[in-house]
Amino acid sequence: MISTSESRHHIELNPKPYFQSKIETIAKEQNAEKITGVSVRLGALAHISPQHFCEHFIDGVKGAIAEDAKLDVTISHDIHDPNAQQIILESVDAAY
List the chain domain ranges: 2-95
pTM tops 0.75, yes or no: yes
Using CA atoms, how far residue 80 sits from 4, 71, 74, 83, in Å, is 22, 25, 17, 8
Residue 89: DSSP 8-state = E
Instruction: Name the CATH code of domain 2-95 (choices 3.20.20.450, 3.40.640.10, 3.40.50.620, 3.30.2320.50).
Output: 3.30.2320.50
Looking at the predicted structure, is the pLDDT value of residue 4 above 50?
Answer: no
Looking at the predicted structure, is the pLDDT value of residue 7 above 60?
Answer: no
Looking at the predicted structure, is the pLDDT value of residue 82 above 60?
Answer: yes
11-67: pLDDT as tens digits: 555 555 666 788 889 899 999 999 999 999 999 999 999 999 999 899 888 888 999
φ, ψ (nearest 5 deg) of residue 91: -160, 165
d(CA 92, CA 37): 6
At residue 5, the pLDDT reads 41
d(CA 45, CA 37): 24
